[in-house]
Amino acid sequence: MIVGSVSEDKNIEKRVAITPEIIKKYKSIGLDVNLCKNYASHLGIKDDEYISEGANILTIEEVLEKSNVIAQMGILNDENLNKLKQNQNLIGVINPYLNEAKLKEITKKKVNCFALELLPRITRAQSMDILSSQANLAGYKAVLDSFSYFQKAIPMMMTAAGTISAAKVLVVGAGVAGLQAIATAKRMGAIVFATDVRMASKEQVESLGGKFLIVEGSENLETEGGYAKETSDDFKKKQENLLKETLKKIDIVVCTALIPGKKAPIIINKDMIEVMQNGSVIYDLAASQGGNSELTVVNEIIENNGVKIMGEANILNKLPISASNLYAKNMFNFINNLFDKEKKIFNINLEDEIIEKTKVK
């Protein structure tokens, strides 16, 4: 049995699904690894490093033809997708909601497709949880990037010439990315506020030194899986009033609020941005799914009334080596669960919640 991976479109995605150090793990459970030429050369990883660990370097066509599993960061391009055949398995962040038509066509050919972003939040799936591993890095990097565009010092500084006040940061959404953003901003000396529709987040925010902004009704807005639910119009109005008052004194906003598989909720509207101080910064991590800010434009930094609004489509392209290392481990753990080591086959056991929830129907 063989696991293969081919290069992504590097204009969109710089991360890779297989790193040299993970090859030994695949070999240890009886799997060979096929990679295309110059697979991770853009990360400074030469083919020789993969070969020395036991991987085979082939052409893209050979990898797709000879591999039982194709492990990717995102979905394959149309040309490569059409080369997959019956009983092959495609695994990655394949976004079944945006790529519904493509995936319907390929599943008709009896190619098994698994979307890792649909992993259930259960204990057994934690080592495979790509949303947590990647969001953790994204929250960290979003804070660093937003601070680099803010034209004042972040921590409070007392000098003979006077005192510089600490920057005030608001984190919207206290999931994995949000909590890491809170922790990073606090370490750098900022005063941090946070808001989330899930009341369970309050204790986590406060444990990191943040101040939790409570919106009435928050306790009813968490799914059984631990994700945020969509909010009612009444809740949105209450949240809007609270945030509008808060934003008058905030210097930096980091937006991280997402609902899996759906458009990101608009939380910071134009009227709220109008009341922010000149020189403030909004970093919208939800940009690729529509954004939490009404004015967010993907892959652009725009300015409105003196406020910079940043909408990076893929912030992890700025940390591709760290992100790839974590993603490769998540991918291996998922494939390890899929592989029957006794029978030496990939077993699509739909009684396994992990496999059932991630398999694209």
Just list the catalytic residues.
121, 126, 129, 132, 227
Report the Cα 298 to chain-centroid distance in Å.
15
Own/partner long-range contacts of 52-59 (Cβ < 8 Å, ≥24 apart): 52/20, 53/20, 53/21, 53/23, 53/24, 53/27, 54/23, 54/24, 54/27, 55/18, 55/20, 55/23, 56/32, 58/34
Q: What is the 3-state secondary structure (H, E, C) of the chain?
A: CEEEECCCCCCCCCCCCCCHHHHHHHHHCCCEEEEECCCCHHHCCCHHHHHHHCCEEECHHHHHHHCCEEECCCCCCHHHHCCCCCCCEEEECCCCCCCHHHHHHHHHCCCEEEEHHHCCCCHHHHHHCHHHHHHHHHHHHHHHHHHHHCCCCCCCEEECCEEECCCEEEEECCCHHHHHHHHHHHHCCCEEEEECCCCCHHHHHHHCCCEEECCCCHHHCECCCCCECCCCHHHHHHHHHHHHHHHCCCCEEEECCCCCCCCCCCCECHHHHHCCCCCCEEEECCHHHCCCECCCCCCEEEEECCEEEEECCCHHHHCHHHHHHHHHHHHHHHHHHHEECCCCEECCCCCCHHHHHHECC
